[in-house]
Chain A
Amino acid sequence: MTMDERPPHLIFDKENKATRDPAWIFRTYAGHSSARASNELYRANLSKGQTGLSIAFDLPTQCGYDSDDSIARPEVGKVGVPINSLDDFHVLFDEIPIEKMNTSMTINGTAMWMLSLYVALARERGIDTTLLSGTTQNDLIKEYLARGTYIFPPEASLRIIAEMYEFCIDSMPSWNASNICSYHLQEAAATPAQELSFALVNAIGLLDLLKERGRFNDEDFERAVGRISFFVNAGIRFVEEMCKMRAFSELWEEITRDRYQVKNRKFRLFRYGVQVNSLGLTESQPENNAWRILIEALGVTLSRSARCRALQLPAWNEALSLPRPWDQQWSLRLQQILAYETDLLEYPDLFDGSLVIQSKVEDLKRQARREIEVILGMGGVKAAIESGYMKSALVRSMSARMKAINTGEQLVVGMNKWTEGIPSPLLSGADGGIFKVDPQATRGALGSLERTRKNRDPYRAKRALDALQEAARSGANMMEPSIECALARVTTGEWARALRQVFGEYRPATGVDGQKLGLENDRVDLLRGRIDALVQRLGHRPRLVVGKPGLDGHSNGAEVIAVSARHVGFDVIYSGIRLSPDEIVLSAVEENADVIGASVLSGSHLELADQIMAGLRSHGAEQRVQVVFGGIIPPTDFAQLYAAGVKAVFTPSDFGLVEIMEAIVGLIERAPA
């Protein structure tokens, strides 16, 4: 068949035979409790037809603390697997052939450390590192903006990313040293144009940096451009999302060709993986989320020219708790049906030539280009982070979204419309349809950490850490010293502490300014009246300490609460993220606060509640200060929280900010004077 005779609805292989595209990589974001438990989960998932690994690390590992650190304890094994040393990696990848695996690690602040552990694992197994393929997420820009698991200040973080690219280019040519993430921007309510432009200026910032460092010749630089990959979100407006992906591909082609003169077409390809949207998943009528996930998956698979390379789907009950193995399996089955049962992979791009799609794509590109120019004009992504420009843009988008949902302008089925329904039988099982980490399971992490410290050669570990600090100070590449640390059984906390001592630690702006909450209504006036009455009665304006205990960095919820509380007339003490329970208690004690509002999304609410209550008792302030919790907290835990002394619990279904404020004011009104 000649080219002209090919029917346009078929795909052809190199031998000119009609064929079908291979499926994208199926992943499930997973990991919990301990290296052993996670290894069992991975092997089970692979045997069910999952084709790549996506490692979820727990927060102490992400923030660079050992499992036995006091700030780490309540979080160990909660949202992912705890990794303290190379010994844990040996267990985590037990019986998994890493040379044949595509492994994605959601790791940022400690990305260089996890990559070093992976390389060390390969060396101890006698595997050629050039065979390793996968990704370390390693996008610190979005950590500063939205996710919060950064450790070092921007300059040091960017240097670490650059050094990983420089290491990988020859030693691990199939490894993505970082992933430009727009995923978390959409979770923070970014609009499609913001997602496009912020992600692309982020990539530009990285490539400019690599160029400026001058470690690459032209050919290597071109290859480095080819290694830039993206991690994208897909929301419920799935036609627009598909257009966004096409816009991404086209803009990336433009940027790599015009700004960086990349000649090889292969290195200009927009490569991306997807996790579909979690922000829009609802706690009420959670079974509806199954449909949302399916529709969102279509947005990133329908268009062949903008199809994802790898896809991971959340589970229907993610707004309630971490998913159980069955919930993850159900999401994996969706991918398998879409790829193997349907005819989706048999066709060329379905939308080429569509005027509607083309016009929509052009419109998104126009908006994105304008925003890119604005940010480059102010000095690029680093300047836009440091000035708070991007953060406040996102905070405004989040406020607009919440306002639209509050007023019903944006319809969410089962949440602000058609809220009556038959209770879901999916939630009526013995476990209430949610996953519980076995508190015993994390003990294993502490035991293995102790063994590692006892069995290693302390002098080799010390020398390795000294060499790491020396490289950090001198500006030499830190990868090899880090790999030696891994081989010497240095622990995650030790590695991070050594570099904290050199680079310092980043404390961000809180981003609470400039929020518009759409709360100007009669109920706010009523609340202000009640607070004025309290001022008269108590002799002081009610004081609220908003705290984000623990290591989870999703600060937007806490910030919205802080701003709302000031808006109705509280004096609010907000001290940012990553505080120990003791620090929050001390704030409340010294400030003589009426209420502590703690926001927790990591699943550690029970432990944190106990720690906060114990702290208040140690100061004799447990009668004075009332404690409320907010976050992702399953209803089955409410009773235990109340028993611990917590007065109220707010979950994402309590989306009405005014209702939350009314409840807190009510608590103060009812407190004994």
Chain B
Amino acid sequence: MTGPGPPDAELVARALEQDRFAVAQLVSLFEDRRPTAMERRARVLEAAEVHPRRHSATVFGITGTPGCGKSTLLSRVVPDLLAFREELTVAILAVDPSSTISGGALLGDRTRMKLEHDEPRLFFRSQASDTQLGGLSPSTFRVCRLLSRLFDCVFVETVGVGQSEDDVRSVADKTFLVLQPHGGDEVQFLKAGIMETPDAFVLNKCDDPSTERGYHQLRSSLWLARPFDADEVPIFKTSAKTGVGVAELVASLAAHLAAEPSRRPERRDALFLERWVREEWGRAGSRFLEVLGGAEHHVRVSGGVERAQVQFELRFREG
């Protein structure tokens, strides 16, 4: 334990009771880039693992171009979801781009998430994407790992363009791509291969009848992009303005929450490690990870992602 403030185990206990300042301080620890933070993080996760109130959250990724109405849509969906089940707890992690010049960022999504009353079951945190343009920063993965152990349901909201689409998949159990009916985004996304990955699509801003055309365009581009899908990919038609289609989307999210988590946190940790190894050490690293018994095994025997990273680095350098 370093620095002043309450011991980590106490922070974890308080965070599991939805003390939002405790959660906030832990999130900062998981964003901390100093090497010293790694050891503390491992202990926090251990404390969370053994805690009787331990959760295993479903993580939803919400992506879409700027201005497609992700935040406004979430602000309609989340209150309904909270009303759905009395004890449900929700965390939102909203990622905004940083300035490449100063490194600073303007994080403004909270405005739209304005709820009628203070809701202690909801935790909202903004995060700057750092130098990763529009995508997820390494700390997004770490913070997600934390939040998924403290809350029942986690939303990661991000400007999903280019590669980050893939990133979101590796933190989230289900990803939703939000589109505008006449955005013309489909074509761009089709080219970039982005249509291939999301689990569902949300056609937002469906305020007028002309949106039918957008729906059919999306359907046919999906057919082109994903000819081998067994089931039809769900497309939700919503309007955050009028509330149209919100109930259907909420019901679908609630069904995911009720089902067994499709990915255990261990699996997400493994995905994170795989991705980290690939970025840091390339193909050679990936092959070495297989030698070690695969990502999931290596995380388990090392006792968590942080330790697995240290171990991996050590063993890989050794040869």
Contacts and interface: CB of A to CB of B under 8 A. Distances in A.
Interface of A: 507, 510, 512, 528, 531-532, 535-536, 539-541, 562-563, 565-576, 582-583, 586-587, 589-592, 619-621, 624, 672-673
B26 to A, nearest CB: 9
B118 interface: yes
Contacts of A539: 28, 31-34, 37
Contacts of B23: 590
Contacts of A535: 33, 103
Contact of A541 (B27, B104, B108): B104
Given A573-B108, A619-B21, A592 B27 contact: yes
B20 A673 contact: no
B124 interface: yes
Contacts of B33: 535, 539-540
A589 B128 CA distance: 17
Given A540-B31, A540-B32, A672 B108 contact: no
A591 B106 contact: no
B180 to A, nearest CB: 16
A541 B27 CA distance: 13
A587 B3 CA distance: 24
A510 B109 CA distance: 11
Nearest to B29: A539
A261 to B, nearest CB: 34
A659 to B, nearest CB: 18
A571 B21 contact: no
A477 to B, nearest CB: 25
Contact of A575 (B27, B37, B102, B108): B108
B287 interface: no
Interface string B11-32: 0000000001101110110011
B30 to A, nearest CB: 10
Contacts of A569: 102-104
Contacts of B28: 539-540, 592
Contact of B20 (A532, A575, A619): A619
A580 to B, nearest CB: 10
Residue from the set B23, B33, B106, B126 with the largest chain A CB neighbour count within 10 Å:
B106
B32 A566 contact: no
A43 B207 CA distance: 53
B32 A512 contact: no
B108 A570 contact: no
B23 to A, nearest CB: 8
B229 to A, nearest CB: 38
Contacts of A563: 106
Contacts of B128: 541, 571
Given A586-B118, A592-B28, A570 B37 contact: no
Given A541-B128, A572-B107, A592-B27, 9 more contacts: A539-B31, A540-B31, A566-B106, A567-B99, A571-B105, A590-B123, A591-B24, A592-B24, A672-B4
Instruction: In the A-B complex, list the 4 residue pairs whose CB atoms are closest, starting with the nearest.
Output: A539-B32, A566-B104, A592-B24, A569-B104
B6 to A, nearest CB: 9
B111 interface: yes
Contacts of A566: 99, 102, 104-106
Contacts of A586: 20, 118
